[in-house]
Structures are given as structure tokens and as C-alpha cells.
Amino acid sequence: MENAVSGSVDFNFTDEIKDLISTKEFEEDIYNSFVDKCYVINNKAPKPYWAFSMTIGRLIRISRTTEVLLLDKYDPNAHSIECFVNQNVVHIPTEYIDEIEWN
């Protein structure tokens, strides 16, 4: 048992992180994240709203005001849009999605 090791391993990523966050691309990504639109389930959706999850292959419950991440470009005239909600990929009718400001 003399060679047994316990505890955590110390990783130092300081230099790698410093190199990453000092790039122009990182700065632009941060800025863009503050001006992106947010999308939420609106009050037109049934309460509760159930959608089929393509991730787990069953229905999931989605509450109103839940934020959704669009996987396609937002088109309010489309019938539905593919979204990422609560770690699930689902199709949601666009009439149930509101576009809001990031804050």
C-alpha cells in the first residue's frame, strides 16, 4: 500500500484560460451573448404544456415562462421550431414562443 494515492489531483489551467480569454473571438462572443434574444414559452401554451422529447423518447412537461434555446432560426410564421428545453430536444409551435430581450 505504499504506492496508494488518495485525494484530488491538482490541475492548473491558469495559463490556458488566460490564453483563451485574451482573444478577440472570446471578447466578441461575450458581447454577443449579452445582445442575443431570449425565447420563452408564453401564456398561449396549454397549462401544463406537454411536448415529445426526441432526446429521451417520451413526453415531458414544460412550464410557461420556461426559457427555450432555439436550434433553428426564429421564424414566427413557421408552424413549429426545434428547441432545446430542459436538456431535451423538442418541437414547439411558434405560437407558444415569445421573443424577449436578453435582460
- The pLDDT tens digits of the residues spanning 22-55 come to 888 888 888 777 777 889 999 999 998 999 999 9
Percentage of the chain modeled with pLDDT above 70 = 85
Residues 74-80: contacts with CB within 8 Å, 24+ apart?
74/37, 74/39, 74/99
CATH number belonging to the domain at 37-100, selected among 2.60.40, 1.20.1050, 2.30.30, 3.30.1380: 2.30.30
For the chain, domain boundaries: 37-100
Is the pTM above the cut of 0.75?
Answer: no
